[in-house]
Structure 1
Amino acid sequence: MQNVSELLPTQQSNFPVNRPVVHEQPRPAQDPSQDAQAAMAKTIDKLFGTLKAFYTNHGASLKSPEIEGQIKTQWVRELLKAQITGEMLRMGTARAKRYATEDKYTKWPVVAEFIMWCHGLPSVDEAYREAVDHSHDIVNWRPTHPAVYAAGKRVSWHKLRRSDTQAGQNAYRKAYMEIAAKVVAGEQIEVNKPQLIEQKKLTENEKAELKQLGRANIGALKAMLGKG
């Protein structure tokens, strides 16, 4: 009979070693969009708090915490999609405050309007009034934004001068919103205004020739009239 010790493996390496295989799970990479959404959400919370002090009738739009939360979510999504920077956000906020203070925009702004303001675009009503007020002197006019001028040029200044017609107003609003959408999408709008024709400065010789020509014309006219 074999000894029990003889039944054991003589080397430790002969022991079957069943170590559990541990597969290290890669850590999920932090989604930068989640960070951006979280940062923008905090910004929107502060923005809404600021605007509520100016839009005192905000309750008509933000009727409940649930509705306000839904609107905030929409603003976060749309502002991120439009790539609104901090500086642009400050510009839009300043314009929103001004409109509320001047009672030109007492309703809570929708996000599409606010994005326009962030791009330096005035409201549709303000753009229309500006275009009409300067339609008689477009050469010396410095528009607040190129889109304001471009929309007026598309509609025609003659139609805008007839500011009492609803057709001209509707045409301008349609043109302005189309151009504003291009601005928000990143397109550059230029103001191509007609230039004043500068009067040519005459030399002394040219002035003398014109005087002689004028005298000759006067003399010929007198001869025709029998007054020579």
Structure 2
Amino acid sequence: MADSRDLIQRVEREIAASRTTSATPAGQTDAPRAADEAHIEAINQVFALFRLNYHNQYYAAYPDQAQINQIKKLWLDALGEFPVEQILRGAKYAIEHSEYLPTLHRMLECCTASLQGLGLPAPRDAYLEACNAASPKSAQPWSHPAVYLAGRDSDWFFLSSEPEQRTWPVFRERYQGYCAAVLRGEDLEIPAPAALEQQPGTPMTLEERQDALRALRASTGFE
């Protein structure tokens, strides 16, 4: 158990360290190759945590290394939509809330739960919220600023005019970046909506509207 606690503490230190060592702005991700390597390392750490915490269950479920490698690839594909920080937090959540070795389905639930604790919707829910939001966008009741910011960075017109197979990967990448920022402790804000009028005009009286109509008819030649 001492080794398990040490590994959990290591994961927590790496999450905390990412606040100061990450040079990637919120809403953006590193190059695909670097991102893949980070996710691979996260999956390896998750399985190391599970091996220490669920020793007998782990070896009963994964009896040989070839099987473990195949399962890791499956988990990597399924968890790829989550930021690395969220995957590590999801593993910690699973260990703290279950005495049984998590399945992939349970791990997905734990990753989502680690977001929901911070008010962040699941990536798919965030995508649908962004695509269906009315205008003006910044004036809508967003579930979390990360959803608005990811939609803005993806380009609202792009989200509304292109097919899902193109828009979903773009939005997911932007949303991952903002979720990672929130998990690092950053505060996100939605810009205040621009005022359409600094001082709304006074409604025209009936006489003024009639005068304006006569002027319009005169200028167009219609009487």
What TM-score, normalized by structure 2, do the two folds share? 0.47
> Relative contact order, CA 8 A, sep 6+: which one is greater?
2
Considering only CA atoms, is the larger Rg found in Structure 1 or Structure 2?
1
- TM-score normalized by structure 1? 0.46
